[in-house]
Amino acid sequence: MSKGPTISDVATLAGLSKGAVSRYLNNKLVLPAETAARLEAAIQTLGFRRNHFAQRLSQGKSETIGLVVPEISDQFFAELAEGAELEAASANYGLILGIGRNDVSREIDFLRWLDTHMVDGLLFVSNRPDDGQLRDHLNRYRNIVILDEDIPGSHASKVFCDNVQGALYGVRHLISTGHRRIAHVSGPSALMSAGERLAGYRQALEDANLLFDPTLLLNGRYSRDYGRQAAIALSAMHPRPDAVFAGSDYIAIGLIEGFLDLGLTVPGDLSILGFDDIAPADMVTPRLTTIRQNAQTMGREGVRQLLATMSHPARPAMEIRTPIALVRRGSVRHRGRNPPI
CATH number where 126 lies: 3.40.50.2300
**pLDDT beyond 50 at 340:** no
Q: How far apart are CA 186 and CA 180, in angstroms?
A: 19
Check whether residue 176 and residue 240 sit in a common domain. yes
Q: Which residue has the higher pLDDT, 92 or 28?
A: 92
Q: Which residue has the higher pLDDT, 127 or 340?
A: 127
pLDDT confidence band for 4 (50 / 70 / 90):
confident
**Beta carbons of 250 and 215 less than 8 angstroms apart:** no
pLDDT at 55: 52
Check whether residue 196 and residue 120 sit in a common domain. no
pLDDT at 1: 45
- The last residue of one of the domains, among 293, 308, 334, is 293
Cis peptide before 32 (omega within 30 of 0): no
pLDDT at 63: 85
User: What's 50's DSSP letter?
Assistant: -
Written as one string, the DSSP assignment of 246-305 is: ESSHHHHHHHHHHHHHTT--TTTT-EEEEEE--GGGGTSSSPPEEEEE-HHHHHHHHHHH
Q: Mean per-residue pLDDT for 278-296?
A: 95
Check whether residue 75 and residue 114 sit in a common domain. yes
Measure the N-to-C terminal CA separation of the chain; round to a whole number of Å: 69
Q: What is the pLDDT of residues 239-269, one digit of tens each?
A: 999 999 999 999 999 999 999 999 999 999 9
Check whether residue 134 and residue 146 sit in a common domain. yes
* β-strand pairing of 324-327 with 289-293: antiparallel
Report the domain count for the chain: 3
Q: Which residue has the higher pLDDT, 249 or 33?
A: 249
Q: What is the pLDDT of residues 140-199, one digit of tens each?
A: 999 999 999 999 999 999 999 999 999 999 999 999 999 999 999 999 999 999 999 999
pTM (2 d.p.): 0.80
pLDDT confidence band for 66 (50 / 70 / 90):
very high
Q: Is 125 exposed, middle or buried (0-12, 13-18, 19+ CB in 10 A)?
A: buried
Structural domain includes residue 59: no
Structural domain includes residue 153: yes
| Residues of the domain holding 232 | 163-293
Q: Which ranges of 59-100 does DSSP label H, i.e. alpha helix?
A: 75-90
Check whether residue 249 and residue 143 sit in a common domain. no
pLDDT confidence band for 336 (50 / 70 / 90):
confident
Check whether residue 185 and residue 125 sit in a common domain. no
Q: How far apart are CA 171 and CA 201, in angstroms?
A: 6
pLDDT at 153: 96
pLDDT at 276: 95
Check whether residue 35 and residue 69 sit in a common domain. no
How far is the CA of 38 from the CAs of 11, 15, 20, 21, 201, in angstroms? Answer: 10, 9, 13, 11, 73
Structural domain includes residue 307: yes
Q: How far apart are CA 323 and CA 163, in angstroms?
A: 9
Check whether residue 37 and residue 76 sit in a common domain. no
Check whether residue 188 and residue 235 sit in a common domain. yes
Q: What proportion of the chain, given as a percentage, has pLDDT over 90?
A: 76
Structural domain includes residue 39: yes
pLDDT confidence band for 313 (50 / 70 / 90):
confident
pLDDT at 143: 95
**pLDDT beyond 60 at 77:** yes
pLDDT confidence band for 50 (50 / 70 / 90):
low
Q: How many Cα neighbours within 13 Å face the side chain of 51?
A: 12
**pLDDT beyond 80 at 333:** yes
Structural domain includes residue 207: yes
Check whether residue 26 and residue 173 sit in a common domain. no
Q: How far apart are CA 63 and CA 233, in angstroms?
A: 51
pLDDT at 211: 96
Structural domain includes residue 1: no
Structural domain includes residue 271: yes
Check whether residue 229 and residue 283 sit in a common domain. yes
Structural domain includes residue 251: yes
pLDDT at 7: 82
Q: Which of 320, 302, 319, 321 is nearest to 143 (CA)?
A: 302
Check whether residue 280 and residue 205 sit in a common domain. yes
